[in-house]
């Protein structure tokens, strides 16, 4: 299939979340994309619709990074987008809204991901190319030119949670990108980055510390954000959120 875009969905032991992602992708007004599924565990048991755009990759290596990498390596599109299992597009025009900005000279298209059951988006404020950093953009609510992975490497298999942060930090700071001020993704906040707050924060701080130029931010994560995140997690548990 000749296509400009490869949508990559990884899913492990979450057939219900996978079905939600599949329905959301099938409802997009943008039709010119292939949909690569990297499945593990019970997610492989989902009955897939008869859609020629769907392509299943059987991932033999454990870990989120390896699953993402398997999808990237199988992708045939000029652009890639990550619709993780359980996540969905915000509306039928979400994918087209990003593709409308996938123009010559642009290497990345970012937008907002709405965090379900939470009063905020990722990122919280619009990014301003040339002024704001993109390292904390949502990898689900973004398009990337596939050649970025050829030039700067795949996701690091040693990363268990923040493989997207570690990869984005590797990109040139002056990378030309566009930010679309639209919520394009509904993000399920029950993944490892949201539920394993201590491990997540420690890995985040380690990435920032060794990246160079981010050491003060790494200290901030350890001394301020980590305690806040732990307290916030416990409050949510008390209120059953």
User: Is the predicted pLDDT of residue 188 greater than 60, yes or no?
Assistant: yes
Q: Do 83 and 151 reside in the same domain of the chain?
A: yes
pLDDT at 130: 76
The vertex-193 CA angle with 188 and 198, nearest 5°, equals: 145
pLDDT at 56: 95
Q: Do 144 and 222 reside in the same domain of the chain?
A: no
Q: Do 59 and 11 reside in the same domain of the chain?
A: yes
pLDDT per residue as tens digits for the range 139-185: 999 999 999 999 999 999 999 999 999 999 999 999 999 999 999 99
* Boundary-marking domain end, from 172, 190, 208: 190
Q: Do 185 and 200 reside in the same domain of the chain?
A: no
pTM: 0.92
pLDDT per residue as tens digits for the range 86-114: 999 999 999 999 999 999 999 999 999 99
Domain holding 164, by residue range, is: 5-190
Q: Percent of the chain at pLDDT above 70?
A: 95
pLDDT at 215: 95
Based on the structure, what is the number of domains in the chain?
2
* Averaged pLDDT for residues 61-90: 96
| CATH, residue 154 | 3.90.550.10
Q: Do 155 and 237 reside in the same domain of the chain?
A: no
User: Is the predicted pLDDT of residue 195 greater than 80, yes or no?
Assistant: no
pLDDT at 60: 67
pLDDT at 98: 98
Q: Do 55 and 166 reside in the same domain of the chain?
A: yes
Q: Do 213 and 97 reside in the same domain of the chain?
A: no
Q: Do 18 and 117 reside in the same domain of the chain?
A: yes
Q: Do 133 and 183 reside in the same domain of the chain?
A: yes
Q: How would residue 62 be classed by pLDDT, with cut points 50, 70 and 90?
A: confident
Nearest Cα to 35, choosing from 106, 89, 107, 104? 89
Q: Do 105 and 215 reside in the same domain of the chain?
A: no
* Boundary-marking domain end, from 190, 208, 223: 190
Q: Do 177 and 220 reside in the same domain of the chain?
A: no
Q: Do 135 and 240 reside in the same domain of the chain?
A: no
Give me the long-range contacts of 225-233 (CB less than 8 A, separation at least 24).
225/201, 226/197, 226/198, 226/201, 226/202, 229/197, 229/200, 229/201, 230/197, 230/198, 233/197
């Amino acid at each position: 299939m000749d296509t400009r875009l490869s949508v990559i969905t990884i899913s492990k032991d979450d057939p219900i979340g996978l079905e939600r992602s599949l329905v959301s992708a099938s409802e997009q007004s943008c039709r010119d994309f292939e949909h690569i599924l990297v499945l593990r565990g019970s997610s492989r048991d989902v009955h897939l619709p008869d859609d020629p755009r769907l392509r299943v990759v059987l991932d033999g290596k454990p870990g989120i990074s390896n699953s993402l990498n398997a999808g990237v390596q199988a992708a045939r599109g000029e652009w890639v987008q990550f619709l993780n299992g359980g996540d969905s597009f915000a509306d039928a025009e979400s994918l087209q809204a990003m593709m409308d900005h996938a123009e010559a000279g642009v290497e990345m298209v970012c937008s907002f991901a709405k965090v379900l059951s939470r009063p905020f988006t990722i990122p919280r404020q619009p990014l301003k190319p040339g002024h704001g950093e993109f390292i904390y953009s949502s990898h689900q609510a973004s398009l990337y030119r596939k050649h970025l992975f050829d030039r700067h490497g795949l996701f690091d298999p040693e990363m268990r949670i923040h493989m997207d942060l570690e990869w984005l930090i590797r990109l040139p700071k002056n990378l030309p990108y566009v930010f679309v001020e639209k919520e394009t993704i509904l993000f399920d906040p029950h993944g490892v980055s949201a539920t394993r707050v201590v491990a997540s924060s420690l890995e985040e701080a380690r990435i920032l510390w060794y990246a160079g130029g981010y050491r003060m931010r790494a200290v901030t994560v350890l001394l301020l954000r980590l305690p806040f995140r732990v307290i916030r997690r416990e409050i949510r548990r008390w209120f059953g959120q």
